[in-house]
Amino acid sequence: MIIPVPSAASRSSGHAAPGRRRRLILTASGLLFFSVVPLLLTTLYGEHLPSHGRPVGASGESTWRGWSAERSFVVLAWFEVVFLIAFLRYWNLPQAQRVLVAVSFFVGLSIPAPGMLQMLTAAGGSGPAGPPGWHLAVEISVGAGALVLGWVAAGPLPPSPETTAGPPSNAPVMALGPRQRAVFTASAWSMRKLLETAVLVVVIVLTVPDGSGPGSWKGTVLLVLLTFFEAAQARTHLQIDGSGVTVRVPWLSFLRRTVPYRSIRFAEVRSEAPVGRYKLDDDTAGWGIVSGKGPVLALSLADDRWFVYSTREAETAAALVNGWLRRQRQAGTA
């Protein structure tokens, strides 16, 4: 059964507007640290560095400041373009924009940290020296602090859109009494996630032996975290109860998302998910878990997106969601 939804022309993105300009400015500003910090330190300490260690820039200027400017501005421009494109893609997703702000601060502050620490260590020295052991601890602290700073600076997110209309008359509905409680649970495995994890493991095995340069640990750590995140999503658990529809990852108890009933228009059963990319993170089409071919529980959300979950008992799940919706909204209008 497929129930019509509002067309693309009738969709509104007003719910994502509050704070969007702030998040866009912060996304672009966080990357500026990538150039500002090196230039500031080279201005203060560049002339105190060993003369034989000064690199020669493309312009032929043998100064630390000239070399730093030539390198940092090229990389900065590349990052700015990438992050701007990503922000435009997630224009109506405040949650994703907040993540972009945090990652922008991480890139702007964390990536230049190894070189800046080496510069401070070499200032006033007479020759090259290996990095002290405390450099790694400082780099990790800077990276973690940058993520937290960006996340907090992004500010509070706008409230999610809400809807008060009951499910359509032709939607599958499970009748629930005024005091009756019902719970639905299901689990799903994703072969695609397992395959993606296997590919990432191969990439780590092939690239980690080469990650011995300064600051190279960041790429390895991010790759390992991504691999773990993808592996964890290979098995998920769905629960429908009086609080809403919850998806959690059994291997990561803190990784769970709940769709409250106030954000759901109706539930339906589909033979396949609507066109789009569905993961636990947000996308323009929506979010959820599609484990392969077969029926899916599809929730039409108040922000004109979808939540989907693959389960053979999708019809029962949809009927229960609509039952909760009808009971709660009838009680709210009584």
Which DSSP letter does residue 151 get? H
Q: Name the 3-class secondary structure at 321.
A: helix
The predicted pLDDT at position 27 comes to 93
Residue 300 pairs in a beta bridge with 266, 306
What is the domain-level CATH number for residue 267?
A: 2.30.29.30
Q: At residue 60, does pLDDT exceed 80?
A: no
Mean pLDDT of 237-255: 86
Higher pLDDT, 176 or 315: 315
Question: Cβ atoms within 10 A of the Cβ of 108, count?
Answer: 22
Q: Do 174 and 320 have their domain in common?
A: yes
Residue range of the domain that includes 53 = 12-126+133-153
The predicted pLDDT at position 47 comes to 57
Number of independent structural domains in the chain? 3
Q: At residue 215, does pLDDT exceed 70?
A: no
3-state per-residue secondary structure call for 87-147: HHHCCCCHHHHHHHHHHHHHHHHHCCHHHHHHHHHHCCCCCCCCCCCHHHHHHHHHHHHHH
The predicted pLDDT at position 227 comes to 84
Those residues with Cβ within 8 angstroms of residue 37's Cβ, 6 or more apart along the chain or in another chain: 108, 109, 112, 116
Q: Do 217 and 266 have their domain in common?
A: no
The predicted pLDDT at position 56 comes to 40
Please state, for a pLDDT cut of 70, what percent of the chain lies above it.
74
Higher pLDDT, 45 or 11: 45
The burial class, CB within 10 Å (0-12 / 13-18 / 19+), for 273 is: buried
Q: Do 122 and 195 have their domain in common?
A: no
The predicted pLDDT at position 207 comes to 73
Q: Which amino acid is at 29?
A: S
Q: Do 31 and 47 have their domain in common?
A: yes
Q: At residue 145, does pLDDT exceed 80?
A: yes
Q: Do 68 and 104 have their domain in common?
A: yes
pLDDT tens digits, 160-201: 788 877 788 888 889 888 888 889 999 988 777 888 888 888
Q: Do 81 and 170 have their domain in common?
A: no
Spatial contact of 204 and 223, defined as CB atoms under 8 Å apart: yes
| pLDDT averaged over every residue in the chain | 77
pTM greater than 0.85 (yes/no): no
